[in-house]
Amino acid sequence: MKSYLPSIPYPSAGNGAWSPVTSTINWCEEDYYASIYCAEIVNSFTNLAFISLAYKGISSCIRNGHDTDFLVGFISYLAIGLASFCFHTTLKYSTQLLDELAMIYTTCIMFYSIFSYRRATSTKVVIALSVFLLAMFITLYYHYLKNPLFHQNMFALLTAIVFFKSIYTMEVTLRQAREDQRDLAILRRMWQMLSVGLASVGLGFLIWNLDNAFCPILRRWRREVGLPWGILLEGHGWWHLLTGVAQYINLTWSIWLRYCLNGEQDDVQLVWPSFFTSVPVVEPTEKAKSE
């Protein structure tokens, strides 16, 4: 791959301040080529998408008084970004666990939120205890196995359960309870949100797999095109950006769904000026603000 754009050569990979690598995974980005203090600089700094969107979500929850479940969800989302930054900076097994277990715990929080909604207090306690025991089992068994595939499969399974339960709630409960064209318009808008989120996850997953499958080729292409253009071929970085957006959209959709399930859809509105240049926010309506 020949580049006709101005560029600078890639520095050589090597050892750094955090060497040796002790993580059970090492991604396709070459180690310590840009700084001795950061093992994978693109994979590290693309987590700023998680951190900035988490801050936006936390601010929205505090400012607008959304349910505590979602404030905790966005704080956990922030923890994923920070843990992933630490992992890709150091490539240490300890920070790898921080990153991967933060993903599991965040999904468990959303699992509890969706399954405990409108349940009796005693049932909520049972669900909370069950989710806690599940999280501890995954933690201990994964630490014993040290096999990333186990983590990936558990994360995918939990995410799928939460997602399809949310879809079921939206379609079965909310659609049956609709009152007028307003509610149908809300459902259409929700499906638009889900479509954008699913497209982001799907594209991110595709790029993530291509990055793993064709790593030697991608590394060669990066060195041929040089910096900064080679950064665009860092597939795991794209995974961070795309899944960061998808997770933010999922949490925001869950907030809006909760208001609708509570019969409070007239009190809030989804503010999303553009699919491509902004992210959605659930804000109070002018009527709700004046009350």
Binding residue per annotation — 66? no
> Comparing C-alpha atoms, which of 201, 197, 110, 107 is closest to residue 154?
107
Closest to 131 measured CA to CA, from 149, 156, 153, 113? 113
Instruction: Answer whether 28's CB lies under 8 Å from 213's CB.
Output: no
Burial class (CB in 10 A: 0-12, 13-18, 19+), 127: middle
208 labeled binding residue: no
User: Which tokens belong to 289?
Assistant: 């603000």
DSSP state string for 111-170 = HHHHHHTT--HHHHHHHHHHHHHHHHHHHHHHHHH--HHHHHHHHHHHHHHHHHHHHHII
Has 171 been labeled as part of a binding site?
A: no
Per-residue tokens: 30 = 């070459």
Closest CA to 85 of 51, 115, 55, 111: 51
88 annotated to a ligand binding site: yes
Positive or negative, the CA dihedral 115, 120, 125, 130 is negative
Summarize the annotated binding site for Ca(2+) as residue ranges.
27, 29, 40
Summarize the annotated binding site as residue ranges.
27, 29, 40, 88, 236, 240
Summarize the annotated binding site for Zn(2+) as residue ranges.
88, 236, 240
